């Protein structure tokens, strides 16, 4: 592998800045309060893994347990998430979405799918495959 040039880094930075502005995910989900990205990701993870614990969420999102604890506190206060104690282990905490949390997670997932559709629409099928392959390679690259 070669080291990227300063010009390439500048062009990539400018492209990401434009990309972020153009494809900003609006929190137009009909709620009176917006959620930060961590809280959205926590909701989506719990939606896909009902009964998971906070440690599972932290491990998946690659954040400290204390960060997830703060996120779950906010989501519980907003009535989007519920904490339950499993019968077999009263020390453990199982997370589940409330009805409002499920509705919010569904709305977030729908908004993300729309965002992804808008991103891929201008590309040909071959360009889409290449783009997805390159993004996947970047995301899963180990240093």
Q: Which tens digit of pLDDT belongs to each residue from 81-107?
A: 999 988 877 788 999 999 999 999 998
Has residue 42 been placed in a domain? yes
Entry pTM? 0.79
Has residue 112 been placed in a domain? yes
- Higher model confidence: residue 21 or residue 18? 18
Least confident of 2-6, 30-34, 93-97: 30-34
Structural tokens at position 103: 């509705």
The parent domain of residue 93 ranges over 33-139
Provide the domain count of the chain: 1
Has residue 26 been placed in a domain? no
**Does position 29 have pLDDT exceeding 70, yes or no?**
no
Has residue 40 been placed in a domain? yes
In three-state secondary structure terms, 126 is helix
Has residue 8 been placed in a domain? no
Domain harbouring 81, CATH code: 1.10.10.10
Question: How many residues are recorded in the chain?
Answer: 143
Q: Please, what is the average pLDDT of the chain?
A: 87
Largest separation between any pair of C-alpha atoms in the chain: 59
Has residue 90 been placed in a domain? yes
Has residue 27 been placed in a domain? no
Query: Could you identify the residue written with the tokens 């960060």?
Result: 67
Express the helix, strand and coil content of the chain in percent, nearest 5 each: 60, 5, 35
User: Phi, psi (5° rounding) for residue 51?
Assistant: 85, 0
Has residue 43 been placed in a domain? yes
The fraction of the chain above a pLDDT of 70, given in percent, is 92
């Amino acid at each position: 592998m070669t080291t990227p040039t300063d010009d390439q880094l500048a062009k990539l930075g400018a492209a990401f800045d434009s990309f972020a502005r153009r494809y900003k995910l609006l929190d137009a989900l009909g709620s009176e309060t917006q959620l930060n990205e961590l809280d959205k990701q926590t909701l989506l993870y719990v939606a896909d893994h009902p009964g998971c614990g906070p440690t599972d969420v932290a491990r998946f999102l690659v954040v400290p347990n204390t960060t997830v604890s703060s996120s779950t506190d906010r989501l519980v206060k907003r009535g989007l998430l519920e904490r339950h104690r499993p019968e077999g282990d009263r020390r453990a905490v199982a997370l589940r979405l409330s009805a409002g949390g499920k509705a919010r997670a569904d709305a977030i997932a729908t908004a993300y799918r729309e965002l992804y559709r808008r991103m891929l629409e201008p590309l040909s099928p071959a360009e889409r495959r290449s783009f997805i392959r390159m993004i996947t390679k970047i995301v899963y690259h180990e240093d």
